[in-house]
Every structure is written in C-alpha cells, then in structure tokens.
C-alpha cells in the first residue's frame, strides 16, 4: 500500500461519517503524489499523517434565548488545523448544515488557500448549525454573544483570527466583536471583516468575488481569451456572487444568471448595474428570495428549483456552496460551449464535474486558488490593525490584484514543474502543499 493510499485509509477508518472531508483530502493527496515521489523525506517525517489531523478541535454548546423567551441550544465549532505558517485563519459559517465534517473539510482547504496567498497565516475554520435566516437582529445578537462567550477563550490576534463565511456578514461580525471586547477588555484585530469605521479594511466585502475574477482573467489570458462580451453564469446571490458579478461587469462580461436555494434567474441579455444593485439590497437588507427579481424587472425568467448550469455561457462561476455542480451539469456546460469554470465557493464542483471539465479541455480554477482573495484581504486587514493604519480603496485593490496574479502564477508554474502543464488544480495543490510541508519540516515534529 502506497503512502497516500495508507493515509486515506486511515482517515476513512477514523472518521467514516465525514465524506466531504474525505473528498477534500483525497483531491489534495492524489494531486501531490509526484511531490512525494521526488521528496521521500516527507514520508519519513510523517507530513501527511500530521497534515490531515487537526491540531485542535473545539466543540461547544451555544445556549441563547429567542424573542418568545424560549431557550434554544446550538452547537459551536472551531477547528484549528495547521499553524505552520502563522496564526490559524479562516471563516465562521452559520448554517443548519454545519457539522464537524463540514468544518474539517473547510479548515483543511484553508491550509493551502492561505499558503498560496504567501501571507503568514495558517488554516482554520469554524461555525455553528445556527440559522440566521428568519431571526430578528436581537436574536442574532444574543446568539453571537453566547457563541463568542466560549470562542473568545481560544482565539487572539497571534493565535487564531476568524472571519465571516456563509451566514456571517457584517452584522454578525459586529455582534461577536463587541462581545469579544466586553470579555477581554481589548481592542485588537481578532476578527476580520469588521466595518471600516472600526478597524475593517476597504475592499474586504468585495475581495472574494473580485479576487475570483482577477484569477479567471489571468487564467483566460494564458489561453488568449478576453472576457469582453462573454456570457457568465453565476450561482448564488450572497457576498461572493454579488461581487463576482460586479467585477465581471467591470471586465466587460455579461452576467446571465444568479441563484439561491429556491431556484435561479436567467437574464439572457445580461444583468444591468441597476438590477445588480437591486439584488444586493434584496439580499443584504431585506433578505428576500431571488424569485423577486423576475417580478420586478422585464426580461428575467425565474426557474424554480433549478441551478443555472444548463444555461448557455462561455464562463461558469459557482459561488454558492460545496458540491453544487455534478458531472452531468459540467458536461451540459461543455456541450453548450463553456470554456472555463472558476470556483468562487469552496469546492462547489464534485470530483466527477472536475474530471469532465478537464476531459473537455475547459480551463478550471480551483477554489483554494481562485477564491483566495477573501482571506488575502483579511490578512491585509490584520496588517492594518497591527500598525493602527488604514489604506485607501485603491491601495487595497491593487494589493489584492497583485496577490491573485501571484497565486495564479505559482499554481501554473507548479503544474508545469511537475509535468502537468495547464492543470491549475494540481498546480495549486502542489504549490500550497510545498509551502506548508517545508515549514513543518523546519519546525520539527509538532
């Protein structure tokens, strides 16, 4: 039994109930086999065994009182996966689907994503099965305060710096930061995604979406393709999808779809800036459903219960959640002329979808590289907090663009170096892994 096969067998035996975590680990480990063949010292040092096992898993109960006065109890999680390169860094997700296996998958991916940014940050992730949808601001505040009452014991600006993710936006970050200050009596950069007026960074809300588009632009440039006039399908309508759409328009593309858990909209002539602004207000302020767009704007079709991957496009941008595009949907995209898929969400394409895209010759931007802009800008926020400074919008956007170009170049170079030129997924896995593995070797068995 080979090294990779042995480690995969180990995690399947230890945690049989965590298939999404297994999927993430398998994808990385199979990609890096050429590195392990070239560097046998990594097996001797037990790098993979240590890499797939979190350094620390924290699980706790979160009791809170709803507006009726009834006591509710949710589960809270923080997985501190690897700090070889710096303090643990990764978002908090509030969604009913959150389980330990989901948090482990996200934390494992975060190790390599953070490494690719070349910022000094390690990998971690957390969250709760609490659902902020349909809750009042007062209920969300009480939950966030209870959640932080336990979490604050395990985080700090040089230990672990959480951020937002699905279900955790500026409102939730604000409530959690207020409770952290109250408990610790400290003003410090322990959370990122804060409002600009009290320690946040300009461009942070836009960063994941903007970064995905910068990565896509560079990936297509290597194929002599320009985005101008290209039809782009986007899934999701949250933060990442919104700013992917905005930057796609800036780059001259036509955004022809968005979606949420209820269905998708199709806009054959492309969304207007006015329509996108309306969607942002719908989702960020009124927390409404994407179906309302069709009732407000002409030329929009609402497709109940349907994802957008059957819509003809040149570029697809899955920005909703994990495993939202399967092999048949990827093939449908290819059959309709799609030339590139770039992941804005975390692991939105199933292994079958990725295999179909590679076989069909489409350019594929994997999440751990393509959506690294969010955590990269969080690291820039940490820098500003540490120096009590704030940078202009132009400064942060320029730094973000430079980081994303470097992420793409690292990934493309590693793919070529290890005999698979053009396979950006393999290149990203190899480049990120090497940065972390070298640091782990330097630091001994920890």
Largest Cα–Cα distance in the chain?
63
Residue 88 in any domain: the answer is yes
Instruction: Give residue 378's pLDDT.
Output: 96
| Cα–Cα distance measured from residue 331 to residue 353, given in angstroms and rounded to the nearest whole number | 8
125 catalytically annotated: yes
Identify whether 29 is part of a domain: no
In this structure, the answer to whether residues 227 and 157 fall within a common structural domain is no
Coil/strand/helix, residue 252: coil
**pLDDT for the residue numbered 440:** 98
What separation in angstroms does the CA of 361 have from each of 16, 335, 339, 340, 358? 34, 12, 8, 9, 5
Q: Three-class SS of residue 78?
A: strand
Regarding whether 330 and 211 lie in a shared domain, the answer is yes
Predicted local distance difference test score (pLDDT) of residue 117: 97
| Residue 95: CB atoms within 10 Å | 18
At 270 the pLDDT is 97
Residues 167, 118 within the same domain: yes
Where residue 94 sits, what CATH number does that domain have? 3.40.50.10860
Question: For position 299, which CATH number holds?
Answer: 3.40.50.720
Give the pLDDT confidence score for residue 1 in this predicted structure.
83
The tokens describing 336, both together, are 């309709």
The answer to whether the CB of 436 falls within 8 A of the CB of 112 is yes
Go through 141-154 and write b for each residue having 16 or more CB atoms within 10 A of its CB, e for each that does not: bbbbbbbbbebbeb
Q: Are residues 230 and 364 in the same domain?
A: yes
Strands across the sheet with 315-318, in order?
A: 301-304, 263-266, 254-260, 231-235, 315-318, 340-342, 363-365
CB atoms within 10 A of CB 182: 12
User: Which residue, of 354, 370, 386, is where some domain finishes?
Assistant: 370
Helices 19-31 and 3-14: angle between axes, nearest 10 degrees = 170
Q: For residues 235 and 308, is the Cβ–Cβ distance under 8 A?
A: yes
Whether 251 and 290 map to the same domain: the answer is yes
Residue after which a domain boundary falls, among 330, 355, 370:
370
Q: Does some domain include residue 261?
A: yes
Cα–Cα distance between 397 and 384 in angstroms, integer? Answer: 14
Q: Is the pTM of this model over 0.85?
A: yes
- Domain assignment present for residue 111? The answer is yes
Strands (E), 149-221: 160-164
Instruction: Give the tokens for residue 348.
Output: 């939105």
Q: Are residues 183 and 316 in the same domain?
A: no
Q: Does 117 share its domain with 221?
A: no
Which residue among the candidates 89, 104, 125, 283 is catalytic per the annotation?
Answer: 125
Say whether both 166 and 311 belong to one domain. Answer: no
In this prediction, the residues of the chain whose per-residue pLDDT falls under 70 are none
Q: Domain containing 89: what range?
A: 54-187
- CA–CA dist 204, 161 (Å, integer): 15
CA-CA distance, 222 to 224, in Å (whole number)?
Answer: 6
- Is residue 164 helix, strand or coil? strand
CA atoms within 13 A on the CB side of 388: 1
Within a domain: 147: yes
Q: Is 287 exposed, middle or buried (0-12, 13-18, 19+ CB in 10 A)?
A: exposed
């Amino acid at each position: 039994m080979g090294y990779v096969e042995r480690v995969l067998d180990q995690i399947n035996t230890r945690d049989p109930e965590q298939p999404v975590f297994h999927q993430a680990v398998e994808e990385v480990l199979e990609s890096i086999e050429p590195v392990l063949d070239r560097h046998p010292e990594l097996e001797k040092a037990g790098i993979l065994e240590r890499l797939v096992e979190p350094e620390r898993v924290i699980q706790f109960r979160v009791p809170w009182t709803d507006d009726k006065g009834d006591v509710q109890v949710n589960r809270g999680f923080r997985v501190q996966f690897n700090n070889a390169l710096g303090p643990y860094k990764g978002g908090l997700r509030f969604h009913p689907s959150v389980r330990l296996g989901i948090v482990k998958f996200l934390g494992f991916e975060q190790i390599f994503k953070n490494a690719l940014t070349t910022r000094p940050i390690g990998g971690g992730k957390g969250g709760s099965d609490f659902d902020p949808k349909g809750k009042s601001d007062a209920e969300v505040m009480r939950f966030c305060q209870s959640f932080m009452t336990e979490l604050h014991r395990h985080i700090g600006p040089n230990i672990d710096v959480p951020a937002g993710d699905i279900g955790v936006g500026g409102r939730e970050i604000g409530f959690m930061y207020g409770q952290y200050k109250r408990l610790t009596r400290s003003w410090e950069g322990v959370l990122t995604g804060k409002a600009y007026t009290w320690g946040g960074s300009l461009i942070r809300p836009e960063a994941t979406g903007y970064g995905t588009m910068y990565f896509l632009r560079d990936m297509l440039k290597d194929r002599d393709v320009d985005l101008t006039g290209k039809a782009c399908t986007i899934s999701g309508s949250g933060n990442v999808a919104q700013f992917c759409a905005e930057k796609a328009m800036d780059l001259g593309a036509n955004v022809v779809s968005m979606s949420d858990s209820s269905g998708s909209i199709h806009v054959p002539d492309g969304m207007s800036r006015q329509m996108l602004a309306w969607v942002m207000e719908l989702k960020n302020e009124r927390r409404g459903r994407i179906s309302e767009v069709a009732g407000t704007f002409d030329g929009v079709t609402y497709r109940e219960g349907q994802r957008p991957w059957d819509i003809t496009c040149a570029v697809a941008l899955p920005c909703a959640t994990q495993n939202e595009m399967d092999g048949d949907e990827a093939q449908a995209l290819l059959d309709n002329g799609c030339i590139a898929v770039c992941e804005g969400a975390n692991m939105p394409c199933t292994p079958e979808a990725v295999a179909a895209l590679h076989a069909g010759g489409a350019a594929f931007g994997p999440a751990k590289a393509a959506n690294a802009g969010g955590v990269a800008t969080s690291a820039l926020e940490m820098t500003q907090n540490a120096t009590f400074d704030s940078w202009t919008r132009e400064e942060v956007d320029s730094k973000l663009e430079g980081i994303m170009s470097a992420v793409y170049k690292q990934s493309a170079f590693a793919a070529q170096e290890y005999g698979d030129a053009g396979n950006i997924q393999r290149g990203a896995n190899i480049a990120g892994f090497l940065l972390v593995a070298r640091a782990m070797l330097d630091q001994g068995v920890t």
